[in-house]
Structure 1
Amino acid sequence: MEILYLICSVFSTLLASLALSLLLPFRVLLRRCFSPRASSSSLNEATTLYQGTVWHERRRPVQHSFRYQVRYALFDLDRGTHAPPDHYSADEARQITHTTGPVLLLTVPPSVGYEQNPLSVYYCYDVEGSTRHLKKCIAEVTNSPWGERVSFVFNPHSDQVAKALHVSPFMDMHGNWNIKTSDPGDKLTVAISVLHPQLGNYFNATLKAKKVRSSSLGSDHALFFWLMPHKVAVWIYWHALQLWWKKVGFVQHPRYASPTYKEEALIRDQKLQCCGANAMGLSADDVPQNRQFRWRDAKWPWS
């Protein structure tokens, strides 16, 4: 039943995206003709575009690596209403991180009716006088094909978080995520590695991107991100197929084998918070005392 649903979902998404893609030039033309100039200016001021490369490397139990080009948007959640739905608002992010300044959201926006976003990052700032500094971040991790999500607070300079989501059917739930990100400017970097009790540091994923000067794009961000989520999905499923071909063991979703995996992740993360600061050279103030783990369950028919 689940496989049949996945096949039907793929075909329905293809048909919907094809229809919306054919309509996209007309929508862009109408927007250029009738949208107020002030609206376009507001959109550009509230959104920064980035283009770069995502790189994945798995070292064990087999060697497997790949890279692909990706485009991201950085939304200023306080300056516009153009951020994609199904994410935190600026006030919600500030409440979760106990910050007082601006909130920026790095994400891949939906395109022609489809969304595929393995990782979104909220950059939460504090303001002191006329300056601001990046204090905390929120990671929002979504898995495929289940559409489950977990979000948690982390220290952007360097942090270690208990793995709290079944991201891939070729990875178990053991181990921790090492995560860090730069303050987004002309360039940005997000790096994640998986530290496993048996396999060691066996997986790395890195996003490196540069700011795109959007003056030539006007308000046509829909063209800039055309089919970007679809390309991400193709890479996810294509490389899952390659791992299966290389005979990497398939890991069943933990809700069947260990229904309490969320509680277990919380316990492991509490131990990290108690013991991990000294090991990583962090002060107690740098380690979030409450990760604010929040899960979103799978939708039908995966639930």
Structure 2
Amino acid sequence: MSTLNSRLFQGWIRHRRYLPKKHSFSYPIFMSWLDLDELDKVMALSPFWSLERFNLVSFYRSDYLGEAGQDLTDAVKNRIKEQTGDSFKGRICLLTHLRFLGFCFNPVSFYFCYPESTESPRYILAEINNTPWNERYCYVLDTQESPVQKDKWAFEFDKAFHVSPFMPMTQHYRWQFSLHEANLTIHMQLQQDNESCFDATLQLKALAMTRMAMRTTPLHYPFLTLSVVVSIYWQAFRLWLKGIPFYGHPDKQPE
């Protein structure tokens, strides 16, 4: 049995739009939960996984927060410092899609930041990427500001980053996290004028980070990272066919 904090998660993701017209879809998914202090150990477990090198599955520093030459752990700590003023110390676990055959697009990756000698995260960072603009934005969420019980947290905040051209910037987020050793649920709701207009749910179950799981799990979801991008544009086309209003990128509008 694996003694690593790192593990695999598999399950499903579902999107539901309620306004101005109903639209929904779901698909199976797997993600990697990586203790950033264990990256070398994890990648050494399987000949099909690599660090900064092409393989079936690979981790590249440039895919994530901060400058490519900066240690990712330091980049996360710096982001927390910039946002909260707190000099965070502790371990950081990243929930993400890794590259599959050299390709990856992460609509969102999450960093769960555990203070030293604790089993509950103090901060959760949500790093969001958009397409086709290839921009990146990171929300910093403080679990001490969440009113929910242990291992469950809820946050509310205004939207600050353009993601979909079929959603305006004047929206409000309500996010919920439920994290246990064997299960992880993330529910993200968008509100417009105090009315729910969209939600996304990620439901995952944990697998030990073993050599066998690292070989077989990616093959159960072939070309998942490519299919994520294909799905984004396919669903956008379906929304366009339904006549959903289009909102241009706020920073790309003609003067």
Q: What is the TM-score normalised by the length of structure 1?
A: 0.64
Contact 2:159 2:169 in 1 (8 A): yes
Residues 1:227 and 1:171: Cα distance change in structure 2 (over 3 Å): same
Residues 1:184 and 1:138: Cα distance change in structure 2 (over 3 Å): farther
SS at match of 1:255: coil
Query: What's the counterpart of residue 273 of structure 1?
Result: none
Query: What's the counterpart of residue 251 of structure 2?
Result: 255
Q: Count residues in correspondence.
A: 215
Query: What's the counterpart of residue 172 of structure 1?
Result: 168
**126, 140, 143: which one aligns with 2:130:** 143
Aligned equivalents of 1:96 and 1:193: distance in 2?
A: 24
Contact 1:155 1:180 in 2 (8 A): no
Query: What's the counterpart of residue 96 of structure 1?
Result: 79
Residues 1:142 and 1:64: Cα distance change in structure 2 (over 3 Å): same
Aligned positions of 1:284-303 closer than 5 A: none
Residue 111 of structure 2 aligns to which amino acid in structure 1? Y
Relative to its length, the structure with more strand (as a share) is: 2
Shift of 1:51: 0.5
Identity of aligned residues (%): 30
Contact 1:94 1:103 in 2 (8 A): no
SS at match of 1:113: coil
Shift of 1:205: 0.5
Residue 10 of structure 2 aligns to which amino acid in structure 1? Q
Residues 1:168 and 1:216: Cα distance change in structure 2 (over 3 Å): same
Aligned positions of 1:1-303 closer than 5 A: 45=4, 47-81=6-40, 82=51, 83-86=59-62, 87-88=64-65, 89-97=72-80, 98=86, 99-128=88-117, 131-156=118-143, 157-197=153-193, 200-215=195-210, 217=212, 219-220=214-215, 223=219, 226-257=222-253
Contact 2:181 2:206 in 1 (8 A): yes
Aligned equivalents of 2:205 and 2:254: distance in 1?
A: 41
SS at match of 1:115: coil
Relative to its length, the structure with more helix (as a share) is: 1
Larger Rg: 1
| Aligned alpha-carbon RMSD (Å) | 2.5
CA deviation map 1:216-248 (0-9, x unaligned): 626537646641111211221111111111111
Query: What's the counterpart of residue 146 of structure 2?
Result: none
CA deviation map 1:15-34 (0-9, x unaligned): xxxxxxxxxxxxxxxxxxxx
Aligned equivalents of 1:155 and 1:239: distance in 2?
A: 32
